[in-house]
Amino acid sequence: MKTIVVERLRRTFGTFVAVDDVSFEVEQGEIFGFLGANGAGKTTTIRMIIGALPPTSGDATVAGFSVAREPREVKRRVGYVSQRFSLYPDLTVRQNLSFFGGAYGVWGKALDDRIEQVVSEVDLQGRLDELTGELPGGIRQRVALGAALLHAPPIVLLDEPTAGVDPRSRRRFWDLIRTLAAAGTTVLVTTHHLDEAEHCARVGLMVEGRLVALDTPAGLARTWVPGRMFRVEGTAAHRAIPSLRARREVVEVEPFGATLHVRTGEETDLDEVRSWLDPDAGVARVMQIRPSLEDVFLAVAGRGDP
C-alpha cells in the first residue's frame, strides 16, 4: 500500500522555483532516503509533505489525506524530527515528551501510556528525569524521535537526524529506524551522510528543485556510475593522474583527498590496473571498491554550482 503519493508538487517563492514538478510514491513500511545539496529543494518538499507549507500547485496524498486541502489531518499522522535538535534543553526528558505529546493532542492517561511505550521503543529507560540539555547527542536524538512517535503516526520524517552524532549511537539509531519500519511505519529520511543513505530501501536525489534520480542504492550506482571503480593509494598517487587519464580503458580519474578513484569499464580487472601503475612512483596500494552514493551524487549533480 502506498502511504505517500506525491503528484507534480510545485512550490515557488516569488519568481524562484524551489520545487519543480516532483512526483514519487512511497510504500508503507519503506525507508525512503532524500538526498540533495542545500537549496536543492529537499527541505521545501518535506515541509509540503508534512503539511507545514502549502504547495503552489500539485498535491500529495499522505496517509490518505491531501496536503493542499487537509494539512491539519496530515500533520496529525506525521511525526517530524527536525534538524536542529529542537527539544527544550532546560526541561527533563519526561517534560519534553509531555509537552510534545500535548502539542500533538495526546493527553492524560493516554499520554502516560504512550510515553511508557515510546520510552521502551527508543530505549530511554531510566532517563526520564534527566535534563535534556545534559544528555549526549545520540541520546537526545532518541528523545526527539520518541517525541515524534507519541501520537503513533504511520509516517515519520527525519531531517538530518544523525548530524553530529557519534558512530555508535548512529548505528543504534538506524537499528531503531529499521525496527520501526519493519513494524509498518513509513520512514522518510534526509541526510548528508551519504553512507547512511545506503541503509535506505530507495533513494531520491534532488537537484535544483527537480527529482532527477530515484532507485535503490545499488540501482543508482549501476545507472550513474557504471563499470568498475578502483582506489589508488600512496604518497605520490597524484602524479599518476595524467598517465591514467591517457588510457582509453579509463573513463575517469577523480582525486579523492590524497587518494585517487579510477573508473573503468566492466572488463578491466585489478591486476590490469596495477600493471599500469609504476610502483616506484610512490603508489602503495590499489584495490577495487564499490561506487558509493557520493560518487552517484557527484555524477548526478555534476560539477554543479559552488
Partner 1 sequence: MSRFTRRVLAMARKEVLHVRRDPRMTWLAIGMPVLLVLIFGFGVRFDLDRLPVAWVDLDGTRGSDALREELFVSGEIVLAEVCPEVECAERALRANRAIAAFVVPAGAEEDRTRGNPVTLQLLVDGSDGTVANAVLANAEALAAGAAMASAPQAGSWQQAAGSRSPRSLIATVIRYNPRGESAMFLLPGTIAYVLALVSVLLTALAIAREWERGSMEQLFSTTVGGLEIVLGKLLPYLLLGMFDVLLVLSVGASVFALPFRGSLPLVGVASILFLVGMLGQGLLISIVTRSQMLATQLGAFSAVLPSLLLSGFLFPVENLPWPLYWLSMIVPARFHVGLLRGALLKGSGWSDHWLDLLGLAAYATLTVVASAATFRRRVA
Partner 2 sequence: MIPALEIDALVRRFGATDALRGVSVTVAKGELFGLVGPDGAGKTTAIRCCAGLMDPDGGAVRVFGEDPRTEKARERLGLMPQRYALYGDLSVDENLRFFGDLFDVPPDAYAQRRARLLDLTRLAPFTDRRAEHLSGGMYKKLALACALLHSPDLLLLDEPTNGVDPVSRRELWTLLGELVAGGTAVLVSTPYMDEAERCHRVAVLDHGRILAVGDPSEIARGADSFESAFLRIVEAEA
Q: Which of 231, 249, 281, 288 binds partner 2 (CB under 8 A)?
A: 231
Backbone angles phi, psi at 98, to 5 degrees: -60, -45
CB nearer to partner 2: pick between 54 and 164: 164
Q: Is 106 in the site for partner 2 (CB under 8 A)?
A: no
- 52 phi/psi in degrees, rounded to 5: -90, -10
Count the site residues for partner 2 by CB under 8 A: 40
Q: Tell me how far CA of residue 208 lies from CA of 42, 151, 205, 212, in angstroms.
A: 9, 34, 10, 9
What minimum distance in Å lies between the beta carbon of 189 and partner 2?
A: 15
Instruction: Assign 47 to helix, strand or coil.
Output: helix
Q: Indicate whether 80 belongs to the interface with partner 1 (CB under 8 A).
A: yes
Residue 137 as a binder of partner 2 (CB under 8 A): the answer is yes
Q: Which of 23, 57, 86, 216 binds partner 1 (CB under 8 A)?
A: 86
Q: Which three cell numbers stand for residue 87?
A: 527539544
239 near partner 2 (CB under 8 A) = yes
Coil/strand/helix, residue 274: helix
Q: Does 104 bind partner 1 (CB under 8 A)?
A: yes
How far apart are CB 281 and partner 2 at their closest, in Å?
12
User: Where do the H-state alpha helices sit in the chain?
Assistant: 42-49, 71-76, 93-103, 108-121, 137-149, 167-182, 194-197, 217-224, 241-246, 270-276, 293-301
Interface with partner 1 includes 34 (CB under 8 A)? no
Does 86 bind partner 2 (CB under 8 A)? Our answer is no
Choice between 126 and 167, CB closer to partner 2: 167
Query: Can you say whether residue 109 is alpha, beta or left, with left for phi > 0 and alpha for psi between -120 and 50 degrees?
Result: alpha
- Shortest distance, CB of residue 24 to partner 1, whole angstroms? 21
Residues that bind partner 1 (CB under 8 A): 50, 52-54, 72, 75-76, 78, 80, 82-88, 100, 103-105
